[in-house]
Amino acid sequence: MKSNKIPEATVMRMSIYSRFLFQLMERQVQTVSSNEIGKGVGVSSAQVRKDLAYFGEFGTRGVGYRVKDLYGHIMNILGLGRSWNVVIIGAGKLGAALSLYKGFIDRGFKICAILDNNKELIGNRLLNIEVESIDTLNEKVSTQKISIGIITVPAVEAQNVTNALVESGVKAILNFSPTILRVPNNVILRNVDLSVHLEVLSFNLTYNSK
C-alpha cells in the first residue's frame, strides 16, 4: 500500500467512518450502504466509496458493506489493530485534559507518561499517572517503547521539547502549541491549532458567509 498517494482528507474521513461504524455495531446493525455512511458522517456516498477504494474492495454490489468487517478493515488500515504508547510533554491544563481524554484511550492510545519541567506540577497525579520531570524522557521512551509524543507546552519552549522528543527516539509528534516546528524528515509532525478554529468562526461571523 502506497500511503503517500492517499489524500490526508481521506485518512481523516476513514477515522470518522470507523467511529460511525462502531456506533452501528453497538446498535447491532449488520449491513450498511455507502449512502447511509455518507448521511451519517456528512459526506457524499461517492466520497465514501472513493475513499474506501484506495484500500481495497470491501463491499458487495447490490448489498452494501458488512458493518463489522468494514470496521475491522478500517481499524487495521489506520494502524489501530494495536495499541500505541504516548508521552505527553506539558502537564498544564491542556496536557492534563488530554491525558484523561477518553477518545484517545478508547482508540488504543496509551498515555504512558506525562512530563513537565515545572517543579510545581511534578508529582501531581492524573488518574493513575504521576507527572514526572522532563529529564526522564529518554528513559521513558526507551523502556516503555513510546512512539508518539504530544506537545502541550507554551510556544517558546516547543522547539526545545521537540528536539528532546526527536532525540529520545519518538517517531511522531502531535503539536498543540501554536508554533512552526522543525523536525528531521524521518519524524512525522502534525499541528493542531486550537485558536485557528475559533478565528475561522470569527471570520465567518464577521462576513456572515452562507
CA distances from residue 117 to 90, 134, 178 in whole angstroms, order as listed:
8, 6, 19
Long-range pairs of 134-137 with CB within 8 A, sequence gap ≥ 24? 134/89, 134/161, 134/164, 137/87, 137/89, 137/164, 137/165, 137/168
Interface with a copy of itself: number of residues (CB under 8 A): 60
Find where cell 509532525 sits: 189
Is-contact 71 53, C-beta < 8 A?
A: no
Instruction: For residue 29, state whether it binds a copy of itself (rule: CB under 8 A).
Output: no
Kindly state the smallest distance separating residue 101's Cβ from DNA, in Å.
Answer: 26
Instruction: For residue 55, state whether it binds DNA (rule: CB under 7 A).
Output: no
Site for a copy of itself in 132-151 (CB under 8 A): 147-148
**Binding letters toward a copy of itself, positions 154-193, x by CB under 8 A:** -----------------xx-x---x-x----x--x-x-xx
Contacts of 166 (CB under 8 A, 6+ apart): 173, 183, 184, 187
Is-contact 131 122, C-beta < 8 A?
A: yes
Kindly state the smallest distance separating residue 68's Cβ from DNA, in Å.
Answer: 15
CA 81 to chain centre: 14
Instruction: For residue 28, state whether it binds a copy of itself (rule: CB under 8 A).
Output: no
**Residue number, 21 or 164, with CB nearest to DNA:** 21
- The correct pick among 29, 46, 53, 194 for binding a copy of itself (CB under 8 A) is 194
CA angle centred on 185, ends 114 and 131, rounded to 5°: 5
- The correct pick among 7, 30, 42, 69 for binding a copy of itself (CB under 8 A) is 42
- The correct pick among 29, 130, 160, 203 for binding a copy of itself (CB under 8 A) is 203
Instruction: For residue 7, state whether it binds a copy of itself (rule: CB under 8 A).
Output: no
Instruction: For residue 49, state whether it binds DNA (rule: CB under 7 A).
Output: yes
Interface with DNA: number of residues (CB under 7 A): 26
Radius of gyration of the chain (CA): 20
Query: Rule CB under 7 A: which residues touch DNA?
Result: 7-10, 32-35, 43-47, 49-50, 52-53, 57-65
